[in-house]
Structure 1
Amino acid sequence: MTRLRAAAAASALLWLVAAWLDPARALRAYLLGWDFWLGLSAGCLGLALLHQLTGGAWGRDLAPAWRAGLAALPAMAALSLPVLVCAHRIYPWAGVHPPRGINAAWLNAPFFAVRGIGYLSFYCLVARRLSAWTAAHPDKPWPGSAPALIGWFLAASFAGIDWLMSLEAPWTSAAYGAANAVAYALSALAAGALLVGGRPELRPVGGQDGAPRRLQDLGNLLLAFVLLSAYLAFSQYLILWSANLPEEIPWYLRRSRGGWHWLTLSLALFHLAAPLGLLLMRRIKRDPRTLAFAGLLVLVAHAAARAWLILPAFLERPAASLVEPLAWLAVAAVWCAAAWPSLAAERPA
């Protein structure tokens, strides 16, 4: 814990130096790190709510990861302050290019901050109620899980629209919000598979075939969300490219030239093809070590996908810089410090 706090302090100090030298670049880098780690905690909340409705051993196996993610939610909500307060440094519509007409009613700094506080307050409130219920009634589903899951999907969808899609306003996509909610859940599933497979004391038990079968269920769920994420991404691409409208196509053009095309190709390989090839094999899903590797692969690819969504909005080509890694690591250290007590308290079932 002491090392995590020291790492957080060191990374934050170096990031502050970068923020003093180039505030806009540092804040955009901060958005990249904060978005990833907040999305991981929000995804844990969404999956926990889903399990309240469906039941099943898969949720019990992933519960340690979810509890860790929910424990970090208040810290991630607090770390939203730079994004909400300094929106004019990050979003063109809040600074030098204010929107006109109906867009101005939605894209303005005060309303943007109010919506952000609303999303984060909803996450934290639901997480607190859910945690209290499951602690008091471990064998009974929470009665409020259905409306809470609907609210979670709407909050995750609009959060993606506000925090990421509006980076390139007035560009819009009807699938963007849903894709963001699925990405949150995918990152939480991948982290859960990595944790369950990588820590022997958290692996499921249940006889000679029970544990492998439960691991296979986790692998199947991860595969389903990988495919759902790919389906939404391809649907968005197909619809926008077929329409071929001049206000929509540049979003993809920016990501297909200037060096970004290599990241695009890498995502096709490591965010879809490689996980698909691995998770279609039964023996990989039933082995905890290979399942953990698949989870790690998906999680790293997810981090790259978030960079693919954010960075081309500001950079014409990839540029070597320590600002983005420092900001990402600073938020990561805070997340780990907040989640670690919950994770350390887990014991074999």
Structure 2
Amino acid sequence: MPGPAAAALLLLAAAAAMIVAVLTLDPVALARGALAGWLFCLSVCTGASVWLLIGALTGGRWLVRAAPVLGVLARGTWAVALLGVALVPLAPLLFPWWEGETDPALWFDVPFFALRGAAVLILWSVLGFVAMRPLPPVLAALALTLYALAVSVASADWVLSLDPGFVSTAFGAHLAVLQLALALAAVAVLSGGDGDIGGLLLVCVLGVFYLAAMEYVVSWTGNLPHKAAWYLARQDGWGPGWLWLSFIVGIAGPFAALLSSRIRKSAAALRVIGGAMLVGGLAHLVWLLAPECGAVGMVAIATVAAALSLALLIAGGRHER
């Protein structure tokens, strides 16, 4: 694993990249890119908490190897959640309903929105600490139920409400499986994993693809103008590029590799696959949140997200050793 010097260099590169982003991106693109980077890091940490809660219910050999890294990532949830406060000044750029530019419904009331967001972040931060403790199955199941409710709210507020005309009842599950995939990919990068973790990675890849594909099929074939417009907006500019990057690097490549039982048992191969899934997951979030952002700006945002994630991974690697 990289040491403190490498982490410091990456953080400096991230700072330089952010300066480039500020100078080259329009404010709306910068705000959406920042949201994508933050949600990526939050997903890695929150997904780690969920895996620990699942482990409390099911047990399994995979948990022995994954638990040390998952514990460190879960503990970092509160810090990443706190970074979300920095996005509050960007809210008028992110949400078209924020200043009453669209006809607001009760759900798009600003104080109610802020209260929901705070509740979700507090809950996920608490779960990050609770999940590391031995829990009876009943409490683990209750915690997972609360998480399921929270991720549905978070997906509606932080992703779908960027385009209030688009509604998807399955998007909460989409975000939840993506969080699980990103957290397990981080474990693979750090510990390399084994056959059990390789098998779970394959399940995550299939889960993310299935939910994303079914959302598209149902929405597009429904021939509803407001849903078709959401997908059409992501076919302009850099949208197709981010989509193909997320599919090839984050889905197709890992899926093809993980079909081999030999690769699923190779720690070195799982490190590469985990890294590819992290890159693909970030590209997927960019496609969802900021498809119109230019390449230079989004490389800057991606560098920042990667720097934050690598800092968590380095901390996790030291804890593991």
TM-score, normalised to structure 1, is 0.82
Q: Which amino acid aligns with 1:15?
A: M
1:64 to 68, 81, 93: 68
Q: Which residue of 1 aligns with 2:296?
A: 321
CA contact (8 A) 2:120 2:154 kept: yes
Shift in alpha-carbon separation, 1:295–1:336, aligned structure 2, 3 A: closer
Q: Secondary structure at the match of 2:290?
A: helix
Moved more, 336-345 or 224-233: 336-345
Listed as ranges, the matches of 1:126-165 within 5 Å are 126-131=127-132, 133-134=133-134, 141=136, 143-165=138-160
CA contact (8 A) 2:78 2:128 kept: no
Q: Which amino acid aligns with 2:126?
A: L
CA contact (8 A) 1:68 1:340 kept: no
Structure 2 residue 226 is matched with structure 1 residue 247: yes
Q: Which residue of 2 aligns with 1:273?
A: 252
1:279 Cα shift?
0.8
1:195 Cα shift?
1.5
Q: Which amino acid aligns with 2:122?
A: S
Listed as ranges, the matches of 1:1-349 within 5 Å are 1=4, 4=7, 8=11, 11-12=14-15, 15=18, 19=22, 22-95=26-99, 97-100=101-104, 104-131=105-132, 133-134=133-134, 141=136, 143-197=138-192, 215-312=194-291, 315=292, 319-322=294-297, 324-337=298-311, 340-347=314-321
Q: Which residue of 2 aligns with 1:208?
A: none
Deviations 1:235-280 (A, max 9, x none): 1111111210111101111223445334333433333322221111
Shift in alpha-carbon separation, 1:18–1:268, aligned structure 2, 3 A: closer
CA contact (8 A) 2:21 2:300 kept: no
CA contact (8 A) 1:7 1:333 kept: yes
Which whole-Å CA distance do the structure 1 matches of 2:66 and 2:59 have between them?
12
Moved more, 33-42 or 17-26: 17-26
For structure 1, the residue ranges without an aligned partner over 5 or more in a row are: 135-139, 198-202, 204-214
Q: Which amino acid aligns with 2:247?
A: A
Q: Secondary structure at the match of 2:320?
A: coil
CA contact (8 A) 2:21 2:296 kept: no
Q: Secondary structure at the match of 1:296?
A: helix
CA contact (8 A) 1:27 1:82 kept: no
1:7 Cα shift?
5.2
Shift in alpha-carbon separation, 1:295–1:335, aligned structure 2, 3 A: closer
Larger radius of gyration: 1
Q: Secondary structure at the match of 2:295?
A: coil
TM-score, normalised to structure 2, is 0.88
Q: Which amino acid aligns with 2:159?
A: L
Deviations 1:101-150 (A, max 9, x none): xxx2111322222111111100111222233x24xxxxx65652110011
- Computed over aligned residues only, the root mean square deviation of the Cα atoms, in angstroms, reads 2.5
Which whole-Å CA distance do the structure 2 matches of 1:45 and 1:77 have between them?
14
Which whole-Å CA distance do the structure 2 matches of 1:255 and 1:222 have between them?
27
1:14 Cα shift?
6.5
Percent of aligned pairs with the same amino acid: 32
CA contact (8 A) 2:185 2:201 kept: yes
Moved more, 184-193 or 272-281: 272-281
Which whole-Å CA distance do the structure 2 matches of 1:338 and 1:283 have between them?
29
Q: Secondary structure at the match of 2:97?
A: helix
1:28 Cα shift?
2.0
